[in-house]
Amino acid sequence: MNKTLFIFPGQGSQKVGMGKDFYDNSSLAKEMVEKASERIHVDFTKLLFEENDQLEQTEYTQPAILLVSLIAHRLFTETCKTLPVSVLGHSLGEFSALSATGAMDYLDAVELVHQRGLLMKKACEGINAGMMALLGLDDARVEEITCKERELGKKVWAANYNGDGQIVIAGNKDDLSSLEPLFKEAGAKKAVLLPMSVASHCPLLSSAQANLEGYLEKWLKDDFAMPVISNVTAKAYQSKEEAKRLLSEQLISPVKYKQSILHVESSTDMFIEFGGSVLKGLNKRISQKPTHSIVDMKSLEEVLALF
């Protein structure tokens, strides 16, 4: 029997057309899209399947990715009853993972991450927030540079540990831009500002924490079918109280994705990614274990054939 670990992508995995094959070929997927549209008064068929500006706005990006991930997960589990060893997600994906454990209804999760996006957007209004991807520097060097620059008054923090030599930093956009020569001098192959207007996983989002905790209290259940690996600690949790604390901290703490995969690698034979393939790409740099992505009906059937 395969020991599996379920993984769920975060922001950056969105693209127009995602989930359309599920919607066109599954009455369950169609129903989930329609109910999500009613829940937050957003036409997900337009958001997901037609060219639009909203899909890149965090309050819409987040529910769109989560919904497609949970459709893929539901279609898989309708046929395959295997339970994963644990689940984990990248940033937003941790909320998809929580819902996959049974700790949150998928419609509550759709509304929760929509509100999370609005809270993040509000926290970053008027502070010129942004994020920058760095390639070719090790974690310690990035931490050393950002720490030194914070002592000089700049607002820059490590935000996502995606793999060896692949890290994202967050903060004030002008401060990030000003560090580009320093990173290049230190040996970075690339230092690229990302097209984002929020600064995720850093203290600039602290004003959003209390409200997010309120939503978590409202919609989370103390009913976890399996453990969730925390982005904050790279360790497992399995209760509502832990989830509330850790997901609030996740707003202002870096995503330890690389560390999480290394922590769970020995306990699994394979990873299954639901609704995207970005994590499959990251995992190739981190783990020797295979990752299979479910993004449409064909890939769903291919993964089901493994069981």
Q: Give the global pTM.
A: 0.95
Q: Do 20 and 101 share a domain, yes or no? A: yes
Question: What is the pLDDT at residue 14?
Answer: 85
Spot the catalytic one: 200, 201, 260, 293: 201
90 is catalytic: no
Could you tell me the pLDDT band of residue 180, with boundaries at 50, 70 and 90?
very high
Same domain, yes or no, for 152 and 113?
no
The full DSSP string for 21-90 is: HHHHH-HHHHHHHHHHHHHHT--HHHHHHS--SGGGSHHHHHHHHHHHHHHHHHHHHHH--PPPS-EEES
Helices H, strands E: what count in the chain?
A: 14, 10
**Are 193 and 265 in a shared domain?**
no
Exposure of 108 by Cβ count < 10 A (0-12 exposed, 13-18 middle, 19+ buried)? middle
pLDDT digit string, tens, across residues 185-233: 999 999 999 888 899 999 999 999 999 999 999 999 998 999 999 999 9
For residues 100 and 219, membership in a common domain is answered with yes
Task: Please report, for the domain that includes residue 152, its CATH number.
Answer: 3.30.70.250
Alpha-carbon distances, residue 285 vs 79, 132, 288 (angstroms)? 31, 20, 8
Average pLDDT over residues 102-128: 96
Quick one: pLDDT at residue 120? 96
**Mean pLDDT of the 103-116 span:** 97
- For the segment 5-51, what is each residue's pLDDT rounded down to a tens digit? 999 999 888 889 999 999 999 999 999 999 999 999 999 999 999 99
* Boundaries of domain holding 299: 4-123+204-304
CATH code of 60's domain: 3.40.366.10
pLDDT tens per residue, range 45-98 = 999 999 998 888 989 999 999 999 999 999 999 999 889 999 999 999 999 999
Average pLDDT of 142-153? 96
Told to judge if 248 belongs to the known catalytic residues of this protein, a careful annotator would answer no
Banded pLDDT at 1 (limits 50, 70, 90): low
Catalytic residue among 69, 91, 260, 293: 91
103 neighbors 240 (Cβ within 8 angstroms): yes
**Tally of domains within the chain:** 2
Q: What is the mean pLDDT of residues 139-161?
A: 96
Q: 2: alpha, beta or left, given left = phi > 0 and alpha = psi -120 to 50?
A: beta
